[in-house]
Structure 1
Amino acid sequence: MYGGGFHRVPADWRFPRCGVQDLWRQWWIGDTVRQVPPLRSLKHVDVKHLDNLPLADDEMHGRTGGYGARRRLSKKTLCDMRFLMNWMTERVEAAGHRENNITISAVERMFLSIAHLFADGARDSQKRWTSIVHTVRRAVVVEQANGIVLVAD
């Protein structure tokens, strides 16, 4: 409890700055050491406190986008994370590898069934999930655009 309400994450928690596989683990399992539940259970109220925090030095590293020294709204980052994880879950289900008993090994097996979707070069293991989400969003837009069939009257 902090800031006058209950939250699922500690006050010093920040969105993970990690790769897709690590985020996938945290999405399904959480962080037992820091007592963070699976990220799929987060709601905007749980992360809203981040909007008022200044960026830490490690968060400033590599910032070249339009936000500069400002923090992106937490609800947008949470939306991006949820979009990517739902997209990945749909791909796992389509491949027939969705497991109901969620364990660390089950989460790893599910990820390995779609890992080829993220292998596009020598540095693919170094890409953060925030970079991947933009690539996936563009790919979804292209898929949707190609799937539209115009019917003449």
Structure 2
Amino acid sequence: MDLKNLVTCRLNSPGDSIVATGVPPHISILQHMHSLAKNVNDVVPQIQKVAPDVIRGVIDEIEKRAMTAGTVTRDGLEALINGCLEKSGLYQLVQKLEDSPTSGIQQEETLTGDEAVTMTHMVGMHSWGGRLHLVPQDFAFPNSWSQIAWQYWMCGDRQKQYPPLRILSKNDMSNTNMQKRLSDFRYLMQLVEKRVEEKGKWIAHPSIEQANEMFEAGKDVLDISEVSEKGRKRRGEQMKWSTMVNRVRNKRKTQRFS
């Protein structure tokens, strides 16, 4: 059969099913092979990741079933202990001690001549309410003069193993009334703190004597009167801190609205 009559020589026309590109067929095949190779390379890491994920999932499921059945496993026991410690507040307590100005250590300095002897002791820990606290459940703020309250604020109580009260938080208080007392105590003491810092007399870890000197430098912010409301003369620093905080707040409130 003569095929010559079926062949037409012409340029490309719109609608032709075959388009002449001038590119040899093997070049196009190589491009497709390169694309497939790239896709395979992208898939291989995902395939390699499947095995560890499956193994970890199987181990986790075994751990869950072991715990349900009451069987103790290493990972299960570790997770249980960590959960209990976190629930008890130990991690938060450690973080609080690390972030506190004293880092959980109370320091006292006793000067003998030119030599200073520094004594440090760990603050006692107290367990109640399912958590660890810096003070016992029956802790009470000192019913004392403002100066003595300042000593507790800066130095704590070594005999009772109380830390400086300035590092306590509301979580260390046993009830809402004690939280309110802490708020009042902190309000008054921080006024003195600010004034001491303004005068450049601040000492981070003072002895009792140094704390007294700091109080002398900052007590003027409390505007302590030497004469009581009944006309009795008394030393201002011997006014109870609970009385002083009310006097200071009332005076500042009056000044604000006057």
TM-score scaled to structure 1, two decimals?
Answer: 0.71
- What residue in structure 1 maps to residue 214 of structure 2? 110
- The alpha-carbon deviation at position 101 of structure 1 amounts to 4.5
Report what 1:60 is aligned to.
Answer: none
Following superposition, the deviation at residue 78 of structure 1 comes to 0.8
> Unaligned 5+ residue runs, structure 2?
1-126, 228-232
Give, as a single letter, the amino acid of the residue that structure 2 aligns with 1:76. K
Aligned equivalent of 1:97, options 187, 201, 215: 201
The count of aligned residue pairs is 124
Identical pairs, percent: 31
CA contact (8 A) 2:147 2:215 kept: yes
TM-score, normalisation: structure 2: 0.44
Residues 1-153 of structure 1: pairs in structure 2 closer than 5 A: 1-47=127-173, 49-50=174-175, 73-116=177-220, 117-121=223-227, 122-123=233-234, 124-145=236-257
RMSD: 2.0
**Could you say which structure has the larger radius of gyration?**
2
Which protein has the bigger strand share? 2
Question: SS where residue 6 of structure 1 aligns?
Answer: strand
Deviation at 1:126, TM superposition (A): 4.5
Specify every segment of 5 or more residues in structure 1 that has no aligned partner in the other structure, as ranges.
Answer: 52-72, 147-153
Q: Give the number of the structure with larger relative contact order, counting CA–CA contacts within 8 Å between residues 6 or more apart.
A: 1
C-alpha distance in 1 between matches for 2:254 and 2:206: 32
| Alpha-carbon distance in structure 2 between the residues aligned to 1:132 and 1:138 | 10
SS at match of 2:132: coil
Q: Structure 1 counterpart of 2:172, which letter?
A: D
